[in-house]
Amino acid sequence: MRGVTATKMARHAVFSLFFYALPVLQMSPASILKDLTLLRREELAEKWDNLGFSIRPMNGHVRYTWSDGNWDSGVFVPAPYQLMHINAGALHYGVSAFEGMKAFACKDGKIRLLNPELNARRMQKGAEALLLLGTAMVSNNHDRAAPKGLGAVKAAGNYAADLAPVHQAHADGYNTTLYLDAKERKFIEEFSVCNFVGITKDGRYVTPKSDTILQSTTNIMLQQLAKDRGMIVEERPIDFEKEIGNFKEIGMCGTAAVVVKVNSISFGDKVYDFEDFDVISGLRSQLTGIQCGEEEDKHGWMKEVCDVVNDSIPEVFPVQTRSFAPDMVTAEAKGQVQRMGSQAMHGLERLLLEHVVANAEPGNPDSVLAAMDAFWNKTFQAQGAEKWNVRGLKIEEAVRDKVQAKASSGAPVRCLEMGTYCGYSALRIARNLPAGGKLLSVEKDELFAAIATKIIEFAGLDDKVKIWMGTVHSEIANITNRLEHEAADFVLVDHSKERYVPDLKLLEECGIVSKETAVVGDVEVYPGDERPPKVIEEEISRFFSDRAFGLATMDDPRFLTLTNQSNNCILRFTVFARCARELGEEDTRCKYQYYRAQTACPESQLEDWMEHRARGSCHLDVLPDRSTMHVRQ
């Protein structure tokens, strides 16, 4: 069942419950009522008198699932959408049925359904006619399409009309049905869902002409090939009884099967046999030869789209990525990287490196930054691109001020960054540094550090930038050495918020941060910070309140912030839930999505959702696609 809409008549509200597909067949009215009570009745009651006839958005629908020969007891899905496979029979062949049922809000405060058994029975009958159950109730008295109807349209309903007859034919030992015209029951229409093609004993290609059959594109091409061979092609009404005996070959043709031999056609007690298939088979071979590029395509039917994808390359990462970042592989092999952190790399950052290598000009930092921007832009569907450019400009402005201030002294400009990630801000800093300028960037994630190193190398800035794997504490000796025991001119604080103050204090103690140092960072608190965000924010502002240097603020949309955290949490968990449904929770890609959710969601929330998943009552995987599109990778 899907979709619950409400309409109202006079004082009595009327719900139309639309049941698509089968569930009502085995659904008791009691269960329908039970589910209705989930629709926040008290809210509805308020609006009851104002309901009109139009379709109204509701807070969800009830979904029943058929498995192992039974319907389950149904679950309430808090979304008006249902995820449907692209190959759903309901879309292609119109294999769906629906019911409309009335519900009344009565004066005694109860909601009642009007004779739901009648709806259930009608639904059952409809379903049997469509053979949705796989049990056959078949009649030979079916017309495929009405004269002046939709028979010539590739409408899903035309396929549905054929379901019961073709099942009857199968039950009676035939492969398919042949329809005669609905008006006179005299002229050949078509086979089940295929065009009729016949070769007469005198070698003519004959196929029915009628307003009620869908012209098969395969038939059109076979006709052309027959004409090319000098055959007479006739597209005209074919009187079954008068002409069927004149055919020596019969085929049924359609896009999927091309054309298939028909051995015999039974009509009442009479059986017409067709032994030959040489001519049609020859036409078929020629057409399939053209499709595969083995036969000349004289009519230009084949249109080139693109090269065949080399499926020996893994779906997520092309093999060559390894050669660009061997350190990553080593890092992974050492097993020192957090397990999920390592898998996180399979999501975006490796792709970023690959994108840079494929699209940017080696040795050109501007081109590398442009490639990185393009990658993030595409990944985040242009959301926030402006913001992270503004952030980059602020960083560069602060660096240029320092470069200018030191220009006359000839002393090198020394920069320090905490939190390299993929090296984007490192590039923006370093491209402003004159000869002799240095940037040391500290990154605790080994794989990010490796990727950033490769990106910096690719941009040709490795003489100015050094990336150190570790934390300020672990690398403090390297930091002071690299900066020649002088204070840094510029420090970008862009790692973990909870480390801002302790690390800056240590840097102060070691003389790396002085009152001359420009400290830039953002005060947004990212999820994953152990302490409550407010406490961290207060700690940071207290720290800077009595310092000579301030903290420039930035908001980077590539990373989670408090303001967008809850949205990201739900979207990320939705992507995980979908992934788990399709590939299973253990699939690396799903684990990665779970990791992403972990970085965005409170633990208690995740536990709650996981519990629902275990009970089968979590419906985040059915949210509409558009709401999760921008977090997909």
In which element (H, E) is residue 197 found? Answer: strand 195-200
Q: CB of 356: closest distance to ligand SAM in angstroms?
A: 13
- HSE-up of residue 164 (Cα within 13 Å, Cβ side): 16
Q: CB of 425: closest distance to ligand SAM in angstroms?
A: 3
Residue nearest to ligand SAM (CB): 419
Q: Where are the alpha helices (DSSP H) in 189-264?
A: 217-228, 240-243
205-207 and 195-200: which strand pairing?
A: antiparallel
The token pair at 193 is 């869902």
Count the Cβ atoms, other than its own, within 10 Å of residue 431.
17
**Residue closer to ligand SAM, measured from CB, 247 or 559:** 559
Q: Which residues pair with 7 in a beta bridge?
A: 14
**Residue closer to ligand SAM, measured from CB, 191 or 424:** 424
Q: How far apart are CA 473 and CA 125, in angstroms?
A: 74
Name the nearest CA neighbour of 145 among 132, 131, 123, 160. 160
CB of 102 closer than 8 Å to CB of 113 = yes
List residues near ligand SAM by CB under 6 A.
418-422, 424-425, 442-445, 448, 471, 494-496, 499, 559
For the four alpha carbons of 451, 379, 439 and 476, in that order, the dihedral sign comes to negative
**Residue closer to ligand SAM, measured from CB, 526 or 576:** 526
Q: CB of 599: closest distance to ligand SAM in angstroms?
A: 11
Q: CB of 455: closest distance to ligand SAM in angstroms?
A: 10
Q: CB of 414: closest distance to ligand SAM in angstroms?
A: 17
Q: Which residues, in sequence order, are CB contacts of 309 under 8 Å at separation 6+?
A: none
For the four alpha carbons of 50, 56, 59 and 64, in that order, the dihedral sign comes to positive
CB of 117 closer than 8 Å to CB of 156 = no
In which element (H, E) is residue 12 found? Answer: strand 12-17
**Residue closer to ligand SAM, measured from CB, 442 or 600:** 442
**Residue closer to ligand SAM, measured from CB, 130 or 348:** 348
CB of 433 closer than 8 Å to CB of 464 = yes
The DSSP output letter for 246 is G
**Residue closer to ligand SAM, measured from CB, 35 or 445:** 445
Name the nearest CA neighbour of 147 among 185, 120, 177. 185
**Residue closer to ligand SAM, measured from CB, 27 or 360:** 360
Q: CB of 387: closest distance to ligand SAM in angstroms?
A: 12
Q: How far apart are CA 113 and CA 103, in angstroms?
A: 4
Cα angle value 182/187/190 (rounded, 5°): 75
Dihedral of the CA atoms 402, 451, 444, 485 (nearest 10)? -40
**Residue closer to ligand SAM, measured from CB, 2 or 444:** 444
Q: CB of 399: closest distance to ligand SAM in angstroms?
A: 13
CB of 374 closer than 8 Å to CB of 475 = no
**Residue closer to ligand SAM, measured from CB, 21 or 418:** 418
Q: CB of 494: closest distance to ligand SAM in angstroms?
A: 4
407 residue type, one letter: A
The token pair at 1 is 């069942």
Q: CB of 514: closest distance to ligand SAM in angstroms?
A: 21
Helix-helix angle 497-509:533-545, to 10 degrees: 30
**Residue closer to ligand SAM, measured from CB, 94 or 419:** 419
**Residue closer to ligand SAM, measured from CB, 494 or 621:** 494
**Residue closer to ligand SAM, measured from CB, 403 or 422:** 422
Q: CB of 473: closest distance to ligand SAM in angstroms?
A: 8
